[in-house]
Copies of this chain bind each other. A is one copy, B any other.
Amino acid sequence: MKKYSIKDIAELSGVSVATVSRVINDNGRFSEETRKRVLRVIEETGYKMNYSAKSLRMNKSFSIGILVPDISNYFFSDVVQKIEEILFDKGYSTIICNTARNQEKETAYLHMLEGKGVDGLIVISGAEAFEFDYSQIEKQIPYICIDREPKEKSRTIFISSNHYQGAFEATEQLIHSGCKQPIIAVHNRKSTSTKERLNGFKDALKKNNIAFNENSNLLNVDIRSSLFEADLISFLARNPAADGIFSLNDSIALEILLVLRKNIRSVPKYIKLIGFDDMPAGRYSSPTLSTVKQDTSKIALTAVESLLNLISFPSDTGKSIIIPVSLTLRESTQGN
Contact = CB atoms under 8 A, between A and B. Distances in A.
Given A24-B115, A96-B95, A111-B50, A286 B286 contact: yes
A291 to B, nearest CB: 13
Interface string A60-71: 000100000011
Interface in A121-172: 135-139
A17 interface: yes
B88 A94 contact: no
A84 interface: yes
Contacts of A49: 111, 136
Interface string A87-118: 01000011111101000010011011011110
A16 interface: yes
A210 interface: no
A31 B81 CA distance: 39
A49 B77 CA distance: 31
A139 B109 CA distance: 25
Contacts of A111: 49-50, 52
A12 interface: no
B94 A98 contact: yes
A100 B84 contact: yes
Interface in A50-88: 50, 52, 63, 70-72, 74, 77-78, 80-81, 84-85, 88
Given A27-B117, A98-B84, A281-B280, A112 B138 contact: no
A199 B54 CA distance: 48
B85 A93 contact: no
The 4 A-B pairs with the shortest beta carbon distances in the complex, nearest first, are A286-B286, A25-B115, A281-B281, A96-B96
